[in-house]
């Protein structure tokens, strides 16, 4: 009997060791190529909801008001314009197009305060690519016209930062990743890779933006940034 118990225990330990050493399944990268778009257009949902790409689910909020319909969260785009031309032309573009393929996301903030990106299963997210949008670049180089300093261009002490937060089972993880989209007069002009592995295992990701450019209503730098290939190594 004693030998049988020892044998079973050894099997359990061997099985546990095999599970521990088993490599995690690679994430299917969100490249957004599965979203149908006409040329030079964006993906606007008819109502607030979720769309999917790779092993990720993305939130988009639709707000209908007396002033029009507004979209927040994750907006899939294939626009290629590099310069902001006023009246929101090329506000949904980035560095002339996607990092790879034809499509990417412009994140425009989440006024409902909800998580913006969800994983189908909890995992460590290796990283993704980020870039500024033409409207943000216009504000950096030529001013936003609204900040307390008279809407001046970015100076040596100005900043525009992206912070990526993770959560697991509804609880925030103990780390976050911060990216300088602009620091002083230097800004991200082309797609740049951001390592997210330090967040550890997560099942949801939230973005937040901060800028030194403010007025009495809050941040005046356009609350936009572009990303692509979420989950890429």
Q: Is the pLDDT of residue 181 over 70?
A: yes
Long-range contacts, stretch 94-97, CB < 8 angstroms, 24+ apart: 94/131, 94/132, 94/133, 94/134, 94/191, 94/226, 95/131, 95/132, 95/189, 95/190, 95/191, 95/226
Q: Tens of pLDDT along 38-82? A: 999 999 999 999 999 999 999 999 999 999 999 999 999 999 999
Q: 7 pLDDT band (50/70/90 cuts)?
A: very low
Q: Is the pLDDT of residue 191 over 90?
A: yes
Residue 3 lies in a domain: no
Distance CA 203, CA 196 (A): 13
Residue 95 lies in a domain: yes
Residue 220 lies in a domain: yes
Q: Tens of pLDDT along 200-216? A: 999 999 999 999 999 99
Domain membership of residue 116 as a residue range: 24-228
Q: The domain spanning residue 223 has which CATH number?
A: 2.60.120.1350
Residue 2 lies in a domain: no
Residue 24 to residues 27, 117, 171, Cα–Cα distance (Å): 9, 20, 22
Number of domains in the chain: 1
Residue 168 lies in a domain: yes
pTM of this prediction?
0.89
Higher pLDDT, 17 or 131: 131
Residue 53 lies in a domain: yes
């Amino acid at each position: 009997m004693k030998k049988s118990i020892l044998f079973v225990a050894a099997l359990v330990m061997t099985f546990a060791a095999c599970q521990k050493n088993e490599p995690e399944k690679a994430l299917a990268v969100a490249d957004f190529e599965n979203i149908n778009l006409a040329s030079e257009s964006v993906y606007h949902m008819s109502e607030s909801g979720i769309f999917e790409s790779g092993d990720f689910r993305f939130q988009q909020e639709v707000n209908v008001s007396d002033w029009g319909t507004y979209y927040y969260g994750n907006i899939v785009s294939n626009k290629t314009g590099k310069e902001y031309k006023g009246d929101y032309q090329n506000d949904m573009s980035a560095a002339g197009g996607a990092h790879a393929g034809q499509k990417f996301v412009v994140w425009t903030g989440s006024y409902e305060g909800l998580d913006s990106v969800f994983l189908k299963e909890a995992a460590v997210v290796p990283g993704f690519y980020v870039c500024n949008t033409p409207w943000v670049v216009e504000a950096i180089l030529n001013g936003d016209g609204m900040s307390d300093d008279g809407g001046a261009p970015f100076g040596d002490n100005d900043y525009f930062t992206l912070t990526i937060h993770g959560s697991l089972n509804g609880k925030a993880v103990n780390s976050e990743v911060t990216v300088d989209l602009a620091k002083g007069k230097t800004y991200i002009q082309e797609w740049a890779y951001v390592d997210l592995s330090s967040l550890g295992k997560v099942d949801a990701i939230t973005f937040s933006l901060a800028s030194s450019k403010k007025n009495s209503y809050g941040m005046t730098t356009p609350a936009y940034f572009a990303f692509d290939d979420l989950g890429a190594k």
